[in-house]
Copies of this chain bind each other. A is one copy, B any other.
Amino acid sequence: MQRKDISIQYTFDLTTIYPDNQSFTADFDKVSRLKEDLKQAKDSFTINSDNFYAFLKNQDEYSKLLEKLYTYCHLACDVEPENQELQSLMAKVMAFANQGNVELNFIDLKIIEASETINGYLSEDRFASYRYAIKEIIKFKEHLLSEENEQLIAQFDAISSLSSKVFDSIRFDYEPVEINGKKEFLNAATLTRFLKNKDRNVRKQAYHNFFQEYRKFENTFATTLAGIMKKDAIYAKIRKFDSPLGASVYHDDVPEDLFFKILEMANVKYRPLFHQYNSLKKELLDLDELCNYDLNIPLVNTSDYKVKVDDAFEIIKTALAPLGKDYLKIIEKSKDERWIDFYPHEKKRAGAYSGGSYLTKPFILMNYVDDYNSLSTLIHELGHSVHSYLSNSNQEYINSSYRIFVAEVASTVNETLLINHMIANAKTPEQKAYFIYEQLENCVGLLFRQPMYGEFEYLLHQKAAADEPLSSKTITELYAKLSQEYFGEEVKLDGLTGHSCYYIPHFYYNFYVYKYTLGMTVALAIVKRILDGDKGQVASYLEFLKSGGSMSPVDLLKIAHVDPLDDGIYNDAFSYFENLLQQFKETMHEKK
Protein backbone atom coordinates (compact mmCIF):
# COMPACT_ATOMS: atom_id res chain seq x y z
CA MET A 1 0.00 0.00 0.00
CA GLN A 2 1.33 3.42 -1.00
CA ARG A 3 0.38 6.67 0.74
CA LYS A 4 -1.14 8.08 -2.45
CA ASP A 5 -3.68 5.22 -2.50
CA ILE A 6 -5.21 6.35 0.80
CA SER A 7 -8.29 8.57 0.79
CA ILE A 8 -7.42 12.03 2.11
CA GLN A 9 -10.03 12.03 4.90
CA TYR A 10 -8.07 9.24 6.59
CA THR A 11 -4.81 11.19 6.60
CA PHE A 12 -3.94 13.94 9.02
CA ASP A 13 -4.25 17.50 7.80
CA LEU A 14 -0.84 19.06 8.19
CA THR A 15 -1.92 22.06 6.09
CA THR A 16 -3.60 23.31 9.29
CA ILE A 17 -0.07 23.72 10.61
CA TYR A 18 1.54 25.12 7.48
CA PRO A 19 -0.48 25.53 4.29
CA ASP A 20 2.64 26.32 2.27
CA ASN A 21 6.41 26.80 2.38
CA GLN A 22 6.09 30.54 2.99
CA SER A 23 4.22 30.09 6.25
CA PHE A 24 6.83 27.60 7.43
CA THR A 25 9.61 30.01 6.48
CA ALA A 26 7.81 32.94 8.11
CA ASP A 27 7.64 31.06 11.42
CA PHE A 28 11.23 29.97 11.06
CA ASP A 29 12.29 33.59 10.55
CA LYS A 30 10.16 34.69 13.48
CA VAL A 31 11.57 32.09 15.85
CA SER A 32 15.08 33.05 14.73
CA ARG A 33 14.39 36.69 15.63
CA LEU A 34 12.88 35.64 18.96
CA LYS A 35 15.99 33.70 19.78
CA GLU A 36 18.08 36.80 19.12
CA ASP A 37 15.80 38.87 21.37
CA LEU A 38 16.15 36.33 24.15
CA LYS A 39 19.93 36.29 23.79
CA GLN A 40 20.01 40.10 23.88
CA ALA A 41 18.19 40.07 27.20
CA LYS A 42 20.72 37.77 28.85
CA ASP A 43 22.06 40.30 31.32
CA SER A 44 18.89 42.31 31.87
CA PHE A 45 15.95 39.92 32.06
CA THR A 46 16.11 39.28 35.79
CA ILE A 47 16.85 42.83 36.95
CA ASN A 48 13.27 43.93 37.34
CA SER A 49 9.84 42.40 37.29
CA ASP A 50 8.77 44.02 33.99
CA ASN A 51 11.82 42.72 32.17
CA PHE A 52 11.30 39.31 33.64
CA TYR A 53 7.66 39.20 32.60
CA ALA A 54 8.43 40.33 29.04
CA PHE A 55 11.22 37.78 28.79
CA LEU A 56 8.98 34.90 29.90
CA LYS A 57 6.37 35.89 27.32
CA ASN A 58 9.02 35.97 24.61
CA GLN A 59 10.37 32.64 25.71
CA ASP A 60 6.88 31.14 25.54
CA GLU A 61 6.51 32.47 22.02
CA TYR A 62 9.90 31.07 21.00
CA SER A 63 9.12 27.61 22.41
CA LYS A 64 5.60 27.54 20.99
CA LEU A 65 6.83 28.34 17.48
CA LEU A 66 9.77 25.97 17.66
CA GLU A 67 7.47 23.16 18.78
CA LYS A 68 5.09 24.00 15.96
CA LEU A 69 7.91 23.81 13.40
CA TYR A 70 9.14 20.57 14.89
CA THR A 71 5.67 19.04 15.03
CA TYR A 72 5.18 19.72 11.35
CA CYS A 73 8.50 18.17 10.25
CA HIS A 74 8.24 15.25 12.62
CA LEU A 75 4.72 14.24 11.56
CA ALA A 76 5.44 14.78 7.87
CA CYS A 77 8.69 12.78 8.00
CA ASP A 78 7.05 9.88 9.80
CA VAL A 79 4.60 9.32 6.97
CA GLU A 80 7.04 10.19 4.19
CA PRO A 81 10.52 9.27 5.43
CA GLU A 82 11.70 8.96 1.82
CA ASN A 83 10.96 12.66 1.19
CA GLN A 84 14.39 14.20 1.36
CA GLU A 85 13.08 17.78 1.36
CA LEU A 86 11.19 17.05 4.56
CA GLN A 87 14.27 15.38 5.99
CA SER A 88 16.18 18.57 5.19
CA LEU A 89 13.58 20.73 6.94
CA MET A 90 13.66 18.39 9.89
CA ALA A 91 17.45 18.53 10.05
CA LYS A 92 17.30 22.34 9.79
CA VAL A 93 14.81 22.62 12.66
CA MET A 94 16.78 20.16 14.78
CA ALA A 95 20.03 22.02 14.14
CA PHE A 96 18.32 25.30 15.04
CA ALA A 97 16.86 23.77 18.20
CA ASN A 98 20.21 22.32 19.22
CA GLN A 99 21.89 25.64 18.66
CA GLY A 100 19.09 27.31 20.64
CA ASN A 101 19.67 24.88 23.50
CA VAL A 102 23.30 25.89 23.59
CA GLU A 103 22.69 29.61 23.19
CA LEU A 104 19.82 29.82 25.65
CA ASN A 105 21.11 27.52 28.34
CA PHE A 106 21.90 30.64 30.36
CA ILE A 107 18.23 31.08 31.25
CA ASP A 108 17.87 28.53 34.04
CA LEU A 109 21.24 29.51 35.44
CA LYS A 110 20.32 33.20 35.57
CA ILE A 111 16.96 32.40 37.18
CA ILE A 112 18.66 30.30 39.82
CA GLU A 113 21.28 33.00 40.38
CA ALA A 114 18.53 35.58 40.93
CA SER A 115 16.21 33.17 42.71
CA GLU A 116 15.68 35.33 45.78
CA THR A 117 14.67 38.38 43.76
CA ILE A 118 12.54 36.29 41.44
CA ASN A 119 10.66 34.67 44.30
CA GLY A 120 9.62 38.23 45.08
CA TYR A 121 8.33 38.86 41.53
CA LEU A 122 6.29 35.64 41.65
CA SER A 123 3.96 37.07 44.28
CA GLU A 124 2.62 39.50 41.65
CA ASP A 125 -0.64 38.31 40.10
CA ARG A 126 0.62 38.38 36.52
CA PHE A 127 3.14 35.64 37.37
CA ALA A 128 0.50 33.29 38.81
CA SER A 129 0.69 30.82 35.93
CA TYR A 130 4.51 30.85 36.02
CA ARG A 131 4.88 29.98 39.69
CA TYR A 132 5.04 26.19 39.40
CA ALA A 133 7.43 26.14 36.42
CA ILE A 134 9.78 28.73 37.89
CA LYS A 135 9.87 26.95 41.23
CA GLU A 136 10.73 23.73 39.39
CA ILE A 137 13.68 25.53 37.80
CA ILE A 138 14.87 26.89 41.12
CA LYS A 139 14.54 23.46 42.71
CA PHE A 140 17.03 22.23 40.08
CA LYS A 141 19.71 24.35 41.74
CA GLU A 142 21.60 21.43 43.25
CA HIS A 143 21.89 19.70 39.89
CA LEU A 144 23.07 22.71 37.92
CA LEU A 145 26.75 23.14 37.30
CA SER A 146 28.75 26.29 36.83
CA GLU A 147 27.90 28.35 33.76
CA GLU A 148 31.17 27.29 32.15
CA ASN A 149 30.40 23.61 32.68
CA GLU A 150 26.81 24.01 31.55
CA GLN A 151 28.08 25.56 28.31
CA LEU A 152 30.50 22.69 27.89
CA ILE A 153 27.84 20.03 28.45
CA ALA A 154 25.41 21.78 26.13
CA GLN A 155 28.00 21.47 23.33
CA PHE A 156 27.60 17.72 23.55
CA ASP A 157 23.82 17.68 23.23
CA ALA A 158 23.98 17.36 19.45
CA ILE A 159 25.98 14.16 19.64
CA SER A 160 24.67 12.63 22.84
CA SER A 161 21.32 12.12 21.13
CA LEU A 162 23.00 10.08 18.41
CA SER A 163 21.96 6.64 19.74
CA SER A 164 18.32 7.60 19.53
CA LYS A 165 18.75 9.28 16.16
CA VAL A 166 20.41 6.23 14.67
CA PHE A 167 17.80 3.92 16.18
CA ASP A 168 15.03 6.07 14.73
CA SER A 169 16.68 6.20 11.31
CA ILE A 170 16.71 2.44 10.78
CA ARG A 171 13.85 1.18 8.63
CA PHE A 172 13.70 -2.36 7.33
CA ASP A 173 12.03 -3.77 4.26
CA TYR A 174 11.01 -7.02 5.88
CA GLU A 175 10.79 -10.15 3.77
CA PRO A 176 7.11 -10.71 3.05
CA VAL A 177 5.20 -13.56 4.66
CA GLU A 178 4.13 -16.22 2.22
CA ILE A 179 0.60 -17.49 2.72
CA ASN A 180 -0.63 -20.02 0.17
CA GLY A 181 2.03 -18.88 -2.27
CA LYS A 182 0.99 -15.25 -1.95
CA LYS A 183 3.47 -12.75 -0.53
CA GLU A 184 1.96 -10.57 2.16
CA PHE A 185 3.41 -7.26 3.35
CA LEU A 186 5.12 -7.44 6.72
CA ASN A 187 5.71 -4.53 9.06
CA ALA A 188 5.18 -3.89 12.76
CA ALA A 189 1.42 -3.47 12.36
CA THR A 190 0.84 -6.53 10.21
CA LEU A 191 3.17 -8.64 12.38
CA THR A 192 0.51 -8.54 15.10
CA ARG A 193 -2.01 -9.87 12.63
CA PHE A 194 0.23 -12.66 11.37
CA LEU A 195 0.96 -13.76 14.94
CA LYS A 196 -2.76 -14.38 15.35
CA ASN A 197 -2.84 -16.73 12.37
CA LYS A 198 -3.98 -20.27 13.17
CA ASP A 199 -1.22 -21.71 11.03
CA ARG A 200 1.96 -22.14 13.05
CA ASN A 201 4.05 -21.84 9.90
CA VAL A 202 2.66 -18.36 9.23
CA ARG A 203 3.29 -17.22 12.80
CA LYS A 204 6.80 -18.63 12.83
CA GLN A 205 7.57 -17.15 9.41
CA ALA A 206 6.31 -13.70 10.44
CA TYR A 207 8.23 -13.80 13.72
CA HIS A 208 11.39 -14.91 11.94
CA ASN A 209 11.17 -12.57 8.95
CA PHE A 210 10.59 -9.73 11.34
CA PHE A 211 13.23 -10.33 13.98
CA GLN A 212 15.91 -11.74 11.68
CA GLU A 213 16.47 -8.18 10.48
CA TYR A 214 17.25 -7.20 14.05
CA ARG A 215 19.67 -10.10 14.32
CA LYS A 216 21.36 -9.14 11.02
CA PHE A 217 22.03 -5.69 12.44
CA GLU A 218 22.52 -6.83 16.03
CA ASN A 219 25.91 -5.16 16.38
CA THR A 220 24.42 -1.85 15.29
CA PHE A 221 21.53 -2.14 17.74
CA ALA A 222 23.85 -3.27 20.53
CA THR A 223 25.99 -0.20 19.81
CA THR A 224 23.07 2.21 19.99
CA LEU A 225 21.52 0.52 23.05
CA ALA A 226 24.87 0.49 24.86
CA GLY A 227 25.30 4.08 23.72
CA ILE A 228 22.05 5.29 25.23
CA MET A 229 22.74 3.47 28.52
CA LYS A 230 26.19 5.03 28.61
CA LYS A 231 24.74 8.44 27.83
CA ASP A 232 22.19 8.15 30.65
CA ALA A 233 24.92 7.07 33.06
CA ILE A 234 27.14 10.00 32.05
CA TYR A 235 24.39 12.57 32.44
CA ALA A 236 23.23 11.18 35.77
CA LYS A 237 26.79 11.32 37.09
CA ILE A 238 27.50 14.80 35.78
CA ARG A 239 24.21 16.11 37.17
CA LYS A 240 24.81 14.56 40.58
CA PHE A 241 22.00 12.05 40.52
CA ASP A 242 22.57 8.67 42.13
CA SER A 243 21.72 6.86 38.91
CA PRO A 244 19.78 7.23 35.65
CA LEU A 245 16.73 5.97 37.56
CA GLY A 246 17.30 8.65 40.16
CA ALA A 247 17.39 11.25 37.40
CA SER A 248 14.23 9.84 35.82
CA VAL A 249 12.11 9.87 39.00
CA TYR A 250 13.46 13.30 39.95
CA HIS A 251 12.11 14.71 36.70
CA ASP A 252 8.77 12.99 37.33
CA ASP A 253 8.69 14.21 40.92
CA VAL A 254 8.01 10.76 42.35
CA PRO A 255 10.04 8.68 44.83
CA GLU A 256 12.43 6.04 43.44
CA ASP A 257 10.69 3.42 45.61
CA LEU A 258 7.71 3.60 43.28
CA PHE A 259 9.73 1.93 40.52
CA PHE A 260 10.88 -0.92 42.74
CA LYS A 261 7.40 -1.37 44.23
CA ILE A 262 5.92 -1.84 40.77
CA LEU A 263 8.65 -4.33 39.84
CA GLU A 264 8.14 -6.24 43.05
CA MET A 265 4.37 -6.37 42.66
CA ALA A 266 4.43 -7.36 38.99
CA ASN A 267 7.60 -9.45 38.70
CA VAL A 268 7.50 -11.21 42.04
CA LYS A 269 4.23 -11.10 43.98
CA TYR A 270 1.72 -11.35 41.15
CA ARG A 271 3.75 -13.02 38.38
CA PRO A 272 2.27 -16.48 39.14
CA LEU A 273 -1.06 -15.10 37.86
CA PHE A 274 0.52 -14.56 34.46
CA HIS A 275 2.01 -18.06 34.48
CA GLN A 276 -1.45 -19.44 35.32
CA TYR A 277 -2.78 -17.61 32.30
CA ASN A 278 -0.07 -19.12 30.06
CA SER A 279 -0.85 -22.59 31.35
CA LEU A 280 -4.50 -22.02 30.58
CA LYS A 281 -3.52 -20.94 27.06
CA LYS A 282 -1.59 -24.12 26.49
CA GLU A 283 -4.52 -26.17 27.71
CA LEU A 284 -7.13 -24.31 25.64
CA LEU A 285 -4.97 -24.31 22.49
CA ASP A 286 -4.20 -27.98 23.04
CA LEU A 287 -0.59 -27.55 21.90
CA ASP A 288 2.26 -29.96 22.72
CA GLU A 289 4.61 -27.06 22.82
CA LEU A 290 3.69 -23.43 23.46
CA CYS A 291 6.20 -21.07 21.84
CA ASN A 292 6.25 -17.35 22.43
CA TYR A 293 5.04 -16.69 18.89
CA ASP A 294 1.99 -18.85 19.76
CA LEU A 295 0.82 -16.63 22.61
CA ASN A 296 -1.14 -14.32 20.38
CA ILE A 297 -3.31 -17.00 18.80
CA PRO A 298 -6.82 -15.91 19.72
CA LEU A 299 -8.25 -18.14 22.40
CA VAL A 300 -11.65 -17.03 21.19
CA ASN A 301 -12.59 -16.73 17.55
CA THR A 302 -11.96 -13.13 16.67
CA SER A 303 -11.57 -13.29 12.94
CA ASP A 304 -15.12 -11.99 12.58
CA TYR A 305 -14.44 -8.92 14.68
CA LYS A 306 -13.68 -6.27 12.13
CA VAL A 307 -14.27 -2.61 12.71
CA LYS A 308 -13.80 0.07 10.10
CA VAL A 309 -12.68 3.53 11.15
CA ASP A 310 -16.13 5.13 10.89
CA ASP A 311 -17.77 2.43 13.01
CA ALA A 312 -14.93 2.65 15.46
CA PHE A 313 -15.88 6.24 16.19
CA GLU A 314 -19.47 5.27 17.03
CA ILE A 315 -18.27 2.61 19.46
CA ILE A 316 -15.78 5.00 20.98
CA LYS A 317 -18.45 7.61 21.60
CA THR A 318 -20.73 5.09 23.31
CA ALA A 319 -17.91 3.70 25.42
CA LEU A 320 -16.78 7.16 26.50
CA ALA A 321 -20.30 8.41 27.18
CA PRO A 322 -19.73 8.09 30.96
CA LEU A 323 -17.17 10.92 30.59
CA GLY A 324 -19.91 13.31 29.46
CA LYS A 325 -20.93 15.32 26.42
CA ASP A 326 -18.05 17.77 26.44
CA TYR A 327 -15.58 14.93 26.17
CA LEU A 328 -17.51 13.43 23.25
CA LYS A 329 -17.54 16.73 21.38
CA ILE A 330 -13.77 16.70 21.32
CA ILE A 331 -13.77 13.15 19.97
CA GLU A 332 -15.97 14.32 17.09
CA LYS A 333 -13.67 17.24 16.47
CA SER A 334 -10.68 14.91 16.11
CA LYS A 335 -12.35 13.23 13.15
CA ASP A 336 -13.91 16.31 11.59
CA GLU A 337 -10.69 18.27 11.75
CA ARG A 338 -8.52 15.38 10.52
CA TRP A 339 -6.23 15.07 13.52
CA ILE A 340 -5.57 11.44 12.66
CA ASP A 341 -3.46 9.59 10.08
CA PHE A 342 -5.14 6.20 10.13
CA TYR A 343 -3.73 3.61 7.78
CA PRO A 344 -0.39 1.82 7.42
CA HIS A 345 1.46 2.06 4.14
CA GLU A 346 4.95 1.45 2.80
CA LYS A 347 7.74 3.41 4.53
CA LYS A 348 5.37 4.87 7.16
CA ARG A 349 6.65 4.74 10.71
CA ALA A 350 5.36 1.75 12.66
CA GLY A 351 3.25 1.95 15.81
CA ALA A 352 0.98 4.72 17.00
CA TYR A 353 1.33 7.94 18.95
CA SER A 354 -0.40 11.18 19.79
CA GLY A 355 1.79 14.15 18.96
CA GLY A 356 1.23 17.84 18.55
CA SER A 357 2.00 21.13 20.19
CA TYR A 358 0.32 24.13 21.79
CA LEU A 359 -0.21 25.85 18.42
CA THR A 360 -1.31 22.75 16.49
CA LYS A 361 -4.01 20.14 16.73
CA PRO A 362 -3.08 17.18 18.94
CA PHE A 363 -2.41 14.89 15.96
CA ILE A 364 -2.44 11.11 16.02
CA LEU A 365 -0.41 8.70 13.93
CA MET A 366 -2.04 5.28 13.64
CA ASN A 367 -1.43 2.08 11.70
CA TYR A 368 -5.09 1.10 11.76
CA VAL A 369 -5.85 -2.39 10.42
CA ASP A 370 -9.61 -2.73 11.19
CA ASP A 371 -9.28 -5.04 14.18
CA TYR A 372 -10.07 -4.68 17.87
CA ASN A 373 -6.46 -3.89 18.67
CA SER A 374 -6.60 -0.92 16.28
CA LEU A 375 -9.81 0.30 17.86
CA SER A 376 -8.26 0.02 21.29
CA THR A 377 -5.09 1.80 20.20
CA LEU A 378 -7.18 4.54 18.65
CA ILE A 379 -9.14 5.18 21.85
CA HIS A 380 -5.82 5.09 23.74
CA GLU A 381 -4.24 7.76 21.55
CA LEU A 382 -7.45 9.78 21.65
CA GLY A 383 -7.06 9.74 25.43
CA HIS A 384 -3.72 11.52 25.00
CA SER A 385 -5.04 13.91 22.38
CA VAL A 386 -8.12 14.93 24.37
CA HIS A 387 -5.86 15.40 27.40
CA SER A 388 -3.67 17.72 25.29
CA TYR A 389 -6.67 19.48 23.85
CA LEU A 390 -8.15 20.18 27.29
CA SER A 391 -4.81 21.17 28.72
CA ASN A 392 -3.99 23.50 25.81
CA SER A 393 -7.46 25.08 26.02
CA ASN A 394 -7.40 25.62 29.79
CA GLN A 395 -3.78 26.28 30.64
CA GLU A 396 -1.30 28.92 29.67
CA TYR A 397 1.50 27.55 27.48
CA ILE A 398 3.90 27.25 30.42
CA ASN A 399 1.57 24.78 32.18
CA SER A 400 0.18 23.02 29.15
CA SER A 401 2.57 20.13 28.70
CA TYR A 402 2.14 17.35 31.21
CA ARG A 403 4.59 14.70 32.27
CA ILE A 404 4.53 11.25 30.69
CA PHE A 405 3.85 9.95 34.14
CA VAL A 406 0.27 11.28 34.21
CA ALA A 407 -0.23 11.06 30.46
CA GLU A 408 -0.79 7.32 30.52
CA VAL A 409 -3.74 7.68 32.90
CA ALA A 410 -5.71 9.58 30.27
CA SER A 411 -5.12 6.96 27.61
CA THR A 412 -5.71 3.96 29.83
CA VAL A 413 -8.96 5.26 31.29
CA ASN A 414 -10.25 5.35 27.72
CA GLU A 415 -9.02 1.88 26.91
CA THR A 416 -10.55 0.49 30.06
CA LEU A 417 -13.90 2.19 29.47
CA LEU A 418 -13.92 0.70 25.99
CA ILE A 419 -13.28 -2.84 27.06
CA ASN A 420 -15.68 -2.70 29.98
CA HIS A 421 -18.31 -1.47 27.55
CA MET A 422 -17.54 -4.32 25.19
CA ILE A 423 -17.66 -6.96 27.93
CA ALA A 424 -20.86 -5.58 29.45
CA ASN A 425 -22.61 -5.37 26.10
CA ALA A 426 -21.52 -8.69 24.67
CA LYS A 427 -24.43 -10.44 23.03
CA THR A 428 -23.17 -14.00 23.23
CA PRO A 429 -20.87 -15.96 25.51
CA GLU A 430 -18.42 -16.07 22.55
CA GLN A 431 -18.36 -12.31 22.31
CA LYS A 432 -18.06 -11.90 26.03
CA ALA A 433 -15.21 -14.38 26.14
CA TYR A 434 -13.53 -12.57 23.31
CA PHE A 435 -13.56 -9.18 25.00
CA ILE A 436 -12.52 -10.57 28.35
CA TYR A 437 -9.70 -12.24 26.48
CA GLU A 438 -8.74 -8.94 24.86
CA GLN A 439 -8.68 -7.24 28.25
CA LEU A 440 -6.59 -10.07 29.70
CA GLU A 441 -4.11 -9.53 26.89
CA ASN A 442 -4.17 -5.80 27.47
CA CYS A 443 -3.53 -6.30 31.19
CA VAL A 444 -0.67 -8.67 30.40
CA GLY A 445 0.92 -5.96 28.32
CA LEU A 446 0.54 -3.22 30.87
CA LEU A 447 0.63 -4.97 34.23
CA PHE A 448 3.16 -7.72 33.51
CA ARG A 449 5.20 -7.07 30.36
CA GLN A 450 6.18 -3.46 31.01
CA PRO A 451 7.66 -4.24 34.45
CA MET A 452 9.73 -6.99 32.77
CA TYR A 453 10.99 -4.37 30.33
CA GLY A 454 11.64 -2.15 33.34
CA GLU A 455 13.79 -4.83 34.95
CA PHE A 456 15.69 -5.30 31.69
CA GLU A 457 16.51 -1.64 31.32
CA TYR A 458 17.38 -1.37 35.00
CA LEU A 459 19.92 -4.18 34.61
CA LEU A 460 21.34 -2.67 31.41
CA HIS A 461 21.74 0.65 33.16
CA GLN A 462 23.50 -1.03 36.04
CA LYS A 463 25.94 -2.76 33.70
CA ALA A 464 26.63 0.46 31.81
CA ALA A 465 27.20 2.36 35.05
CA ALA A 466 29.66 -0.33 36.14
CA ASP A 467 31.42 -0.05 32.74
CA GLU A 468 30.53 -3.64 31.97
CA PRO A 469 30.76 -4.24 28.24
CA LEU A 470 27.38 -4.46 26.51
CA SER A 471 27.90 -6.64 23.46
CA SER A 472 24.95 -8.01 21.56
CA LYS A 473 25.68 -11.39 23.17
CA THR A 474 25.36 -9.92 26.67
CA ILE A 475 22.24 -7.95 25.80
CA THR A 476 20.36 -10.69 23.96
CA GLU A 477 21.25 -13.37 26.50
CA LEU A 478 20.01 -11.18 29.32
CA TYR A 479 16.81 -10.45 27.46
CA ALA A 480 16.27 -14.13 26.67
CA LYS A 481 16.85 -15.06 30.33
CA LEU A 482 14.43 -12.42 31.65
CA SER A 483 11.91 -13.43 29.00
CA GLN A 484 12.07 -17.06 30.13
CA GLU A 485 11.47 -16.09 33.76
CA TYR A 486 8.70 -13.81 32.63
CA PHE A 487 6.81 -16.25 30.42
CA GLY A 488 7.35 -19.15 32.80
CA GLU A 489 8.35 -22.72 32.21
CA GLU A 490 5.34 -23.60 30.07
CA VAL A 491 6.54 -21.34 27.26
CA LYS A 492 9.35 -22.35 24.92
CA LEU A 493 11.30 -19.39 23.61
CA ASP A 494 12.19 -18.99 19.96
CA GLY A 495 15.90 -18.52 19.23
CA LEU A 496 15.28 -14.92 18.13
CA THR A 497 13.59 -13.89 21.40
CA GLY A 498 16.77 -12.32 22.71
CA HIS A 499 17.01 -10.13 19.62
CA SER A 500 13.42 -8.92 19.88
CA CYS A 501 14.54 -6.37 22.48
CA TYR A 502 16.14 -4.37 19.66
CA TYR A 503 12.72 -3.55 18.29
CA ILE A 504 11.54 -1.68 21.37
CA PRO A 505 12.04 2.11 21.20
CA HIS A 506 11.24 2.75 24.87
CA PHE A 507 14.64 1.61 26.09
CA TYR A 508 15.93 4.85 24.61
CA TYR A 509 13.73 6.90 26.94
CA ASN A 510 15.42 6.34 30.35
CA PHE A 511 12.79 4.47 32.40
CA TYR A 512 9.53 5.01 30.66
CA VAL A 513 7.71 1.71 30.45
CA TYR A 514 6.95 1.21 34.15
CA LYS A 515 4.80 4.32 33.92
CA TYR A 516 2.38 2.39 31.73
CA THR A 517 1.87 -0.02 34.60
CA LEU A 518 1.10 2.78 36.99
CA GLY A 519 -1.18 4.41 34.44
CA MET A 520 -3.13 1.16 34.10
CA THR A 521 -3.33 0.70 37.85
CA VAL A 522 -4.60 4.24 38.43
CA ALA A 523 -6.96 4.03 35.46
CA LEU A 524 -8.58 0.83 36.78
CA ALA A 525 -9.29 2.63 40.04
CA ILE A 526 -10.76 5.70 38.34
CA VAL A 527 -12.93 3.72 35.94
CA LYS A 528 -14.22 1.55 38.74
CA ARG A 529 -15.50 4.63 40.57
CA ILE A 530 -16.99 6.21 37.46
CA LEU A 531 -18.86 3.05 36.52
CA ASP A 532 -19.98 2.65 40.13
CA GLY A 533 -21.83 5.92 39.49
CA ASP A 534 -19.62 8.29 41.42
CA LYS A 535 -20.69 11.53 39.64
CA GLY A 536 -18.06 13.61 41.32
CA GLN A 537 -15.36 11.34 39.89
CA VAL A 538 -16.14 12.36 36.28
CA ALA A 539 -15.91 16.03 37.12
CA SER A 540 -12.71 15.61 39.08
CA TYR A 541 -11.20 13.44 36.34
CA LEU A 542 -11.97 16.12 33.71
CA GLU A 543 -10.53 18.71 36.06
CA PHE A 544 -7.39 16.59 36.23
CA LEU A 545 -7.18 16.54 32.41
CA LYS A 546 -7.71 20.30 32.20
CA SER A 547 -4.99 20.89 34.76
CA GLY A 548 -2.36 19.76 32.25
CA GLY A 549 1.05 20.18 33.84
CA SER A 550 0.26 22.99 36.23
CA MET A 551 1.49 21.08 39.28
CA SER A 552 3.32 17.91 40.37
CA PRO A 553 1.97 14.55 39.15
CA VAL A 554 1.10 13.51 42.65
CA ASP A 555 -0.89 16.72 43.17
CA LEU A 556 -2.52 16.30 39.77
CA LEU A 557 -3.63 12.77 40.55
CA LYS A 558 -5.00 13.97 43.84
CA ILE A 559 -7.30 16.24 41.83
CA ALA A 560 -8.55 13.02 40.23
CA HIS A 561 -8.92 11.58 43.77
CA VAL A 562 -6.25 8.94 43.30
CA ASP A 563 -3.09 8.55 45.38
CA PRO A 564 -0.35 6.93 43.27
CA LEU A 565 1.65 6.11 46.38
CA ASP A 566 -1.09 3.94 47.83
CA ASP A 567 -0.28 0.20 47.84
CA GLY A 568 -3.94 -0.61 47.54
CA ILE A 569 -4.25 0.36 43.88
CA TYR A 570 -1.77 -2.36 42.87
CA ASN A 571 -3.63 -4.98 44.83
CA ASP A 572 -6.85 -3.82 43.19
CA ALA A 573 -5.35 -3.94 39.70
CA PHE A 574 -3.90 -7.42 40.01
CA SER A 575 -7.05 -8.69 41.72
CA TYR A 576 -8.96 -7.31 38.76
CA PHE A 577 -6.74 -9.44 36.51
CA GLU A 578 -7.27 -12.46 38.76
CA ASN A 579 -11.06 -12.00 38.68
CA LEU A 580 -10.99 -11.49 34.94
CA LEU A 581 -9.03 -14.72 34.54
CA GLN A 582 -11.57 -16.56 36.68
CA GLN A 583 -14.45 -15.00 34.72
CA PHE A 584 -12.70 -16.07 31.52
CA LYS A 585 -12.42 -19.68 32.65
CA GLU A 586 -16.11 -19.68 33.52
CA THR A 587 -17.17 -18.05 30.25
CA MET A 588 -15.08 -20.47 28.24
CA HIS A 589 -16.79 -23.28 30.11
CA GLU A 590 -20.23 -21.76 29.51
CA LYS A 591 -19.38 -21.35 25.82
CA LYS A 592 -18.74 -25.10 25.40
Please report A residues at the B interface, Cβ cutoff 8 Å. Answer: 81, 84-85, 87-88, 90-96, 98-99, 148-149, 152-153, 155-156, 158-160, 162-163, 165-166, 169-171, 173, 216-217, 219-220, 222-224, 226-227, 230-231, 234, 237-238, 467-474
Q: Which of B81, B90, B227 lies in contact with A159, CB distance below 8 A?
A: B227
State whether A224 and B166 are in contact (beta carbons under 8 Å apart), knowing that A98-B467, A149-B148, A467-B96 are contacts in the complex: yes
| Contacting pair A219 B469 (CB below 8 A) | no
User: Considering the chains assembled together, what is the distance between the CA atoms of A474 and B91 in angstroms?
Assistant: 10
A518 to B43, alpha carbons, bound, how many Å?
A: 50
Output the nearest chain B residue to A155 by Cβ-Cβ distance. B234
Are B88 and A467 in touch, CB under 8 angstroms? no
Given that A81-B219, A87-B473, A473-B87 are contacting pairs, would A163 and B169 also be in contact in the complex, using a CB cutoff of 8 Å?
no
Chain B min CB distance to A78 (Å): 12
Across-interface contacts of A87 in B (CB, < 8 A):
219, 222, 471-473
Can you name 18 A-B pairs with beta carbons within 8 Å?
A84-B472, A84-B473, A91-B469, A93-B469, A149-B149, A152-B153, A156-B156, A156-B160, A159-B162, A159-B231, A159-B234, A162-B166, A162-B227, A165-B227, A166-B220, A169-B222, A170-B217, A170-B220
A153 / chain B contacts, CB cutoff of 8 Å: 152
Q: Residues of B contacting A216 with CB < 8 Å? A: 171, 173
In the complex, what residues of B have CB within 8 A of residue A85's CB? 473
If A81-B219, A227-B162 touch, whether A238 touches B155 (CB-CB below 8 Å) is yes
With A152-B152, A159-B230, A160-B156 known as contacts, the answer to whether A219 contacts B471 (CB < 8 A) is: no
Specify which of B88, B170, B231 is in contact with A474 (CB 8 Å cutoff). Answer: B88
Pairwise interchain contact B152-A238, C-beta atoms closer than 8 A: yes
**B163 touching A159 by the CB < 8 A rule?**
yes
Q: Which residue of B lies closest to A164 (CB)?
A: B223
- Cβ–Cβ contact B469 & A226, under 8 A: no
The distance in angstroms between the C-alpha atoms of A99 and B223, with both chains bound, is 17
